[in-house]
Amino acid sequence: MIFVTVGTQLPFPRLIKYMARWAQSHSERVVLQTGDGSGFNGCEAYRSLPSDQFGTFMTEARVIVSHAGIGSILAAKALNKPIVVIPRRAKLSEHRNDHQLATAAALEGRAGLRVAWELDQLPAFLDGPIEPPEMALHPQFNQLVERISTFVGA
Amino acid sequence: MVRVLAVSSGGGHWQQMRLLSHALGDVEIEYACSAHVGDLKVHRLPDCNMRTPVQLVAGVLAAWRLVRDVRPDVVISTGAAPGALALIIAKLFGHRTIWIDSIANAEQMSLSGRLTRRFSDLWMTQWEGVAEETGAIFAGSVL
């Protein structure tokens, strides 16, 4: 199963339409979280999902396809799932600015994460296996927590 | 025990806040979020951003009430605008403050982050490049 999620803030019709079309020519189940009310024939589509159901789909999926939102990336990592991200573009009115391009560029190359800069890069990522992300929180996480703890006085 | 007020928006901001706050040691934490997170113990704030002045005023009032009621020793925010307002108000009332700019801002400090600069005792980014450019502290990141 492939779980496609665009987050809670804004719809992302470019990605949703592409994945709905992809699903029509493939037998694999595709579940869409769309962020808007539009239906997509033949696909299981939800505008938004309560967190337990979101977690269920994330867990069932073999790969997550998502906008380049940190929420999705962290959720995929927490569940040890590979993720393919597609950055939203401001010039297509997909977000207020291009920070998702910057996020994707900065995170590209991490284990378990692929960036589809253009939609036509997606099929190749969906066909091939992607390694799971590295589960362990890296030392940079501990250093950040250490700094905060020291300041707080915990 | 140190009393911490952790304020953030929903989605990635909220997840970063949970990751970081769960890793803190012996502290008492109250959470506030501007999105529904399905937990009644989390204080709810109205959503706003720096481009909607009317909602910002409502955001300021809500943040002021929150800080007054919780009486934290330290306010921590991972963004965005609602967290920035709570942090600024907390600082004006003499509480200690920590801004941790979202890891989503890999190339520049967020607008909310830039506003909190003078009001943050610890003003942090999760990217080294942003730290070099802005003078923010880089100590590490959630990813």
Whether residue A143 and residue B139 make contact (CB cut-off 8 A), yes or no, is yes
CATH code, B42? 3.40.50.2000
Identify the closest residue of chain B to A100 by CA–CA distance. B104
> What pTM was estimated for this model as a whole?
0.92
Q: Average pLDDT, stretch B14-24?
A: 94
List pLDDT tens digits, range A41-94: 678 999 999 889 999 999 999 999 999 999 999 999 999 999 999 999 999 999
Q: Is pLDDT at A28 greater than 70 in this prediction?
A: yes
Q: Average pLDDT, stretch B27-32?
A: 97
Q: Is the peptide bond before B80 cis (omega within 30 degrees of 0)?
A: yes
Helices B12-23 & A70-78 angle (0-180, nearest 10): 50
- How confident is the model at residue B35, as a pLDDT? 93
Q: Which residue in A8, A144, A148 is closest to B11 by CB distance?
A: A8
Query: In whole angstroms, how far apart are CA B17 and each of A54, A91, A145, B100, B142?
Result: 19, 30, 11, 9, 10
* Contact predicate A72/A58, CB 8 Å: no
Instruction: Supply the ipTM of this predicted assembly.
Output: 0.95
- Whether B143 is covered by a domain: the verdict is no
**Better pLDDT: B77 or A35:** B77
Burial class (CB in 10 A: 0-12, 13-18, 19+), A14: middle
Whether residue A144 and residue B142 make contact (CB cut-off 8 A), yes or no, is yes
Whether residue B141 and residue A141 make contact (CB cut-off 8 A), yes or no, is yes
Whether residue B143 and residue A110 make contact (CB cut-off 8 A), yes or no, is yes
Query: What gap in Å lies between CA B113 and CA B80, rounded to an integer?
Result: 8
DSSP helix/strand/coil, A33: strand
Domain that holds residue B28: 2-138
User: In which band, very low, low, confident or very high, does the pLDDT at A134 lie, cut at 50, 70 and 90?
Assistant: confident
Q: Is pLDDT at A137 greater than 70 in this prediction?
A: no
User: In which band, very low, low, confident or very high, does the pLDDT at A29 lie, cut at 50, 70 and 90?
Assistant: very high
- Whether B93 is covered by a domain: the verdict is yes
Nearest CA-CA distance, residue A148 and chain B, Å: 8
User: In which band, very low, low, confident or very high, does the pLDDT at B16 lie, cut at 50, 70 and 90?
Assistant: very high
Q: Is pLDDT at B52 greater than 90 in this prediction?
A: no
- How confident is the model at residue B51, as a pLDDT? 84
Q: What are phi and psi of A55, to 5 degrees?
A: -65, -40
Identify the closest residue of chain A to B3 by CA–CA distance. A152
Tokens of B112: 């909310």
CB atoms within 10 A of CB A154: 18
Distance of CA B92 to the CA centre of its chain: 15
- Whether B73 is covered by a domain: the verdict is yes
**Domain ranges, ordered by start, for chain A:** 2-152
Query: What gap in Å lies between CA B5 and CA A141, rounded to an integer?
Result: 20
Distance of CA B118 to the CA centre of its chain: 14
Q: Average pLDDT, stretch A86-115?
A: 95
- How confident is the model at residue B38, as a pLDDT? 83
- The order of strands in the sheet holding B2-8 is B43-44, B27-33, B2-8, B74-77, B96-100, B122-125, B137-138
User: In which band, very low, low, confident or very high, does the pLDDT at B110 lie, cut at 50, 70 and 90?
Assistant: very high
Report which DSSP code applies to A110. S
State how many domains chain B has. Answer: 1
DSSP helix/strand/coil, A59: helix
List pLDDT tens digits, range B76-89: 999 999 999 999 99
Whether residue B100 and residue A144 make contact (CB cut-off 8 A), yes or no, is yes
Query: What gap in Å lies between CA A95 and CA A12, rounded to an integer?
Result: 9
Of the given ranges (A108-112, B50-54, B104-108), which has the lowest mean pLDDT? B50-54
Residues of B in contact with A72 (CB under 8 A): 12
Q: Average pLDDT, stretch B93-109?
A: 97
Q: Which residue in A70, A140, A153 is closest to B12 by CB distance?
A: A70
User: In which band, very low, low, confident or very high, does the pLDDT at A109 lie, cut at 50, 70 and 90?
Assistant: very high
Query: In whole angstroms, how far apart are CA A24 and each of A150, B38, B73?
Result: 54, 35, 55
User: In which band, very low, low, confident or very high, does the pLDDT at B49 lie, cut at 50, 70 and 90?
Assistant: confident
- How confident is the model at residue B133, as a pLDDT? 97
Residues near A65 by Cβ (< 8 Å), separated by ≥ 6?
A2, A3, A4, A5, A15, A19, A83, A84, A86, A122, A126
Query: What gap in Å lies between CA B137 and CA B89, rounded to an integer?
Result: 22
Report which DSSP code applies to B119. G
Tokens of A37: 């009310």
Q: Is pLDDT at A154 greater than 70 in this prediction?
A: no
Whether residue A105 and residue B106 make contact (CB cut-off 8 A), yes or no, is yes
Query: In whole angstroms, how far apart are CA A74 and each of A91, B99, B118?
Result: 26, 20, 30
Q: Average pLDDT, stretch B49-60?
A: 90
Q: A2-152 belongs to which homologous superfamily?
A: Glycogen Phosphorylase B; (3.40.50.2000)
- How confident is the model at residue A40, as a pLDDT? 67
Q: Which residue in B12, B106, B139 is closest to A144 by CB distance?
A: B139
Q: Average pLDDT, stretch B87-103?
A: 98
